Amino acid sequence: MANGLRRRHSVGCASRKGRRCDCRAGWEAFVFSARDGRKIRRTFPTMAAAKAWRADAVGGLVEGRCELLARRPFARPPRPSWRE
């Protein structure tokens, strides 16, 4: 599995008994900020979203804007648009 990503299974998930996952596990992405001396974690409904955030977060660490990123509310999954 990709480094920095982790699946969050529910307590009753079949994967905990060695079977196929039957919960809607979210994905947790985390990056370690050496400057802050702590991990920054976020949970997302999909692996793609978690990966995207992590890539962004890693880029942010490199550029030194990580605090902003940690505070910024992440965009929610798109909803069907009823206005257009």
Minimum Å gap between C-beta 23 and Zn ion is: 4
How far is the C-alpha of 79 from the C-alpha of 43, rounded, in Å?
18
Query: Which residue, 7 or 41, is less far from Zn ion as judged by CB?
Result: 7
Query: Which residue, 17 or 76, is less far from Zn ion as judged by CB?
Result: 17
User: 37 — alpha (psi -120 to 50), left (phi > 0) or beta?
Assistant: left
Query: Which residue, 40 or 44, is less far from Zn ion as judged by CB?
Result: 44
Q: Which residues bind Zn ion (CB under 5 A)?
A: 9, 13, 15, 21, 23, 25
Beta carbons of 31 and 4 less than 8 angstroms apart: yes
